[in-house]
Structure 1
Amino acid sequence: MRKEHEMITSIDEQVNESLAERAYRLLRDRLILLDIEPGGPIVESVLAQEIEVGRTPLREAIKRLEADHLVVTFPRRGTFATNVDLTELSTISEIRGALVPLAARRAAANGGGSVAAALAEALDRIESLGDDENTRHLMEFDVQVHRLINRASESPHLEEMLVRLDSLVTRLWCLMMDRLPPMREHITEHVALMQAILDGDESRAERLAAEHVQHFDSAVRMVL
């Protein structure tokens, strides 16, 4: 395994983050990328050693992950990664269909805000992607791009809601990856959207974001 998902944690990583925040960030990314399989046990002793934190911050992180619907705790049985529920697709898509375009519009109004440079760098990378890109790396990069756009909205409450929803969507994608269109095609849909954000074109960013959500929903439904 690549060290602590360095590609997708770079957006969230803070110089002075607490141990509980670090544990949450790293464990969350393992869960959404299915490194911890749906239904798999959360073994505190093992995880505490792997991510180099104590039991107390790890338990704080697990409480947050329960609120994110990524883990579930059963009395006398322990804590487990939640199963991926395909029946939640309609609800998730409906909410994302409202919030993702809003975030894109706000991001465009800000011209990318504090992450404009990072958006431009990510845009350059997308445009240079080759056909032989590693699928795992592409998935991590896709998560990073979505988090950048969320951050560019400069609305902490909106960003928090979208990160939670995006986490659930990523689990769906990982579970069905072998039946969905190539990840490279999915990522390249972001090019026009990110350019609209950097150009400050609010209406175009909003429309493209709505189309992106709809494309994902349609792609998943086609293989269900």
Structure 2
Amino acid sequence: MPPSEETLAERAYRLIEDQIIRLVLPPGARLTEQELAARLDIGRTPVREALQRLVNDGLVVVFPRKGIAVSVINPLDVLMALEVRSALERLVAGAAARRANAAVKAELTELGERLVATAATANVDAFMQLDKTIHRRLGQTAANPFLVRALAPLEAMARRARFYFLRDDDLAPSAELHRAVIGRVVAGDSAAAEAASEALVDYLRSGIKRTVVGM
């Protein structure tokens, strides 16, 4: 099978994860394999496999004799996850700075500029998709599959929390902090890239705390 070809289970996972992260399937929503299979036009077996992965990621919970539900968003859990993500993202940024070639540097620079421009339009969906693309590209550039796999569920949790806690004034500062990370990676300065990555996660952490206090 070509590497780019998705299995049905992978497609089901991607689609369900996306709907959970964007809150189309909100926290606490009850799920059934049959309903999800109909919604996605995918068989129940791939949906069952996808749900098991989502349980492992912490996005879905199973209640004995009560069924399956989208997990609630606990700010404390998100903040603890961000502590771990901060350490892993530093490793990604540092490795990417050491390994990025000229073509990757140009691509990352363009993505950073697009993110800043998208922030100005207040298009949250487009912004979050670009954010995901940037982090995926940095992970690919870091060239450490173990690191990427460890980060994946933490990134999913963080993206969902951002949709949930997002404030109107969050996009532009976040975009600039992303651009700062990219700038350090492009410069090949691994220590500065790690510091910029930590500053980005710190901003996300403080934004969640700020929003929770204002609720």
Moved over 4 A (4+): 112-118
CA distance in 2, matches of 1:160, 1:115: 21
Runs of 5+ in structure 2 lacking a partner? none
Q: Check if 1:76 corresponds to 2:65.
A: yes
The residue aligned with 2:163 is 174
In the superposition, relative to structure 1, how do residues 220 and 160 fare at CA in structure 2: closer, same or farther (>3 Å)?
same
* Shift in Å, 1:112: 6.0
Q: Check if 1:154 corresponds to 2:143.
A: yes
**SS in structure 2 of the partner of residue 221 of structure 1:** helix
Q: Check if 1:190 corresponds to 2:178.
A: yes
The residue aligned with 1:222 is 210
Q: TM-score, normalised by structure 2?
A: 0.87
Question: Which whole-Å deviations, capped at 9, do the CAs of 1:79-125 have from their partners, x for residues lacking one?
Answer: 11000011113321221221111111011111169955642431231
The residue aligned with 1:90 is 79
In the superposition, relative to structure 1, how do residues 55 and 130 fare at CA in structure 2: closer, same or farther (>3 Å)?
closer
CA distance in 2, matches of 1:212, 1:19: 35
List aligned pairs for 1:1-40, cutoff 5 A. 15-40=4-29
CA distance in 1, matches of 2:20, 2:139: 20
CA contact (8 A) 1:150 1:162 kept: no
CA contact (8 A) 1:113 1:154 kept: no
Percent of aligned positions that are identical: 31
The residue aligned with 1:202 is 190
Q: Check if 1:165 corresponds to 2:150.
A: no
**SS in structure 2 of the partner of residue 163 of structure 1:** helix
The residue aligned with 1:43 is 32
Question: Which whole-Å deviations, capped at 9, do the CAs of 1:38-90 have from their partners, x for residues lacking one?
Answer: 01012322321332321111101111110000001122221110000111133
Provide the alpha-carbon RMSD of the alignment.
Answer: 2.2
The one of 92, 96, 120 aligned to 1:103: 92
**SS in structure 2 of the partner of residue 34 of structure 1:** coil
CA distance in 1, matches of 2:165, 2:176: 19
The one of 111, 114, 120 aligned to 1:125: 114
CA distance in 1, matches of 2:19, 2:181: 27
Aligned AA for 2:148? E
In the superposition, relative to structure 1, how do residues 67 and 200 fare at CA in structure 2: closer, same or farther (>3 Å)?
same
CA distance in 1, matches of 2:108, 2:193: 14
Q: TM-score, normalised by structure 1?
A: 0.84
In the superposition, relative to structure 1, how do residues 130 and 96 fare at CA in structure 2: closer, same or farther (>3 Å)?
closer
Aligned residues: 210
In the superposition, relative to structure 1, how do residues 124 and 132 fare at CA in structure 2: closer, same or farther (>3 Å)?
closer
Please state which structure has a larger fraction of its residues in helix.
2
Question: Which whole-Å deviations, capped at 9, do the CAs of 1:1-50 have from their partners, x for residues lacking one?
Answer: xxxxxxxxxxxxx6312111111111111111211100101232232133
* Shift in Å, 1:129: 3.5
Aligned AA for 2:32? V
Question: Which whole-Å deviations, capped at 9, do the CAs of 1:132-181 have from their partners, x for residues lacking one?
Answer: 34222222222222222223221111111212111111122111124x63
**SS in structure 2 of the partner of residue 189 of structure 1:** helix
In the superposition, relative to structure 1, how do residues 202 and 65 fare at CA in structure 2: closer, same or farther (>3 Å)?
same
